[in-house]
Structure 1
């Protein structure tokens, strides 16, 4: 890629960028841990003996929070791309790409977990309607997808490689 390797930003802007990365990263890490704990609690309450899909559905849901946790780590560590009053554009591009890949991973793993959960209810020992706990589980998976989208959007906004339009 041709072009400048750094973009100048004002000192207050650099401070705000570093603080925003730290805050958002910490919130995403905490949210991922809480979401994983909730998915374990709800997933275990939905497990039934003898259903293999149930046995893999809730661990897949917990695994969908791992990319969300890593998104928080990427954002918290991305503050290192701001040096003085300059934004390292190569590092900013890497952070943005990493957040995009992690959001896709969150979406795919959460959708796979939701599919396993829905199939477990449909193909279980008895065909049954979705319970409120099933809906809560699916809502928690949707929350992981939304939080991944927030991380991606925030990363794209914070680490623009071109100056904002005036």
Structure 2
């Protein structure tokens, strides 16, 4: 049995510890982190998943960005504790949070990730969308939350407040 909730301020250190465990120590040096620096995450989409004993087992966060001046969500990071990987918990968080993003009126989502994994959720390569370097353009993926949301949207990805 798992409990899914919005991340709270009290969860912050525990969430950061899970990210540190799941990703390389230099994760905050990635270009996507420069887009997050000084920008508040979209709180309603930042979710934590706990097991029956209250232990944090999976997390997901979203951040507002702009692509060619148009608003978008930046999905990530999503992390699952190594002892729970392969149970579908990352997929659960992605499905639940994308449904909530649609409900909240967001139209498009962007991420930097592995196409074979994220394509099963509907993500595809975004030609013409440029993440800050160094980012492999083949890993820049997007999803329409409403049909055609990425049509004619291209350009640099910038902070939401730029």
Normalising to structure 1: TM-score of the pair? 0.28
| Greater helix share, structure number | 1
| Higher RCO by CA contacts (8 Å cutoff, separation 6 or greater) | 1
Normalising to structure 2: TM-score of the pair? 0.28
Structure with larger Rg: 1
| Greater strand share, structure number | 2
